[in-house]
Amino acid sequence: MAIKVTGFFQNPQSGLIYDSPLLTLVPHLTYAGKISLDVNINNNGCIGYQSIDRSILTYNTSIIDPYSQLIDALETYVIDDLQNSNDINKATTIKKYTAPVIEEISDSNA
């Protein structure tokens, strides 16, 4: 689970500013119905979310797999929260990130 920021990004908890960081989301189950989440910033900072209630997440009903639906909902929650956390983040682009697929070229003559 990752989020790509294009432009300057300010960590709302520490105030540090980063240039176009990749944010990695690491969820932790706490107790029934609650999720804790660490958002790592370029492996050089962290934003902690504690006790996110699963009932407040917005689930994409076009996603059939419940696990994928939860991941999508957590990414959407974090993006919305960070985008509106301060003026610097409001002026930047924050989107879900999918790593590019690298296709292997096979040598048919081998």
Tokens of 61: 């009903």
Residue 16 lies in a domain: yes
| Among 12, 9, 35, CA closest to 22 | 9
Mean pLDDT (10-residue bins), the chain, 110 residues: 94 94 90 87 90 90 93 95 96 91 70
pLDDT at residue 32, as a whole number:
75
pLDDT at residue 76, as a whole number:
96
Residue 36 lies in a domain: yes
Number of domains the chain is built from: 1
- pTM here is 0.85
pLDDT at residue 109, as a whole number:
56
Q: List the domain range (segments joined by +) for residue 75.
A: 2-96
pLDDT at residue 107, as a whole number:
65
pLDDT at residue 1, as a whole number:
87
CA 50 vs. chain centroid, Å, equals 15
Q: How many CB atoms are closer than 10 A to CB 48?
A: 10
Strand partners, 26: 38
- Which H/E stretch holds residue 82? helix 66-83
Residue 101 lies in a domain: no
Residue 69 lies in a domain: yes
Residue 75 lies in a domain: yes
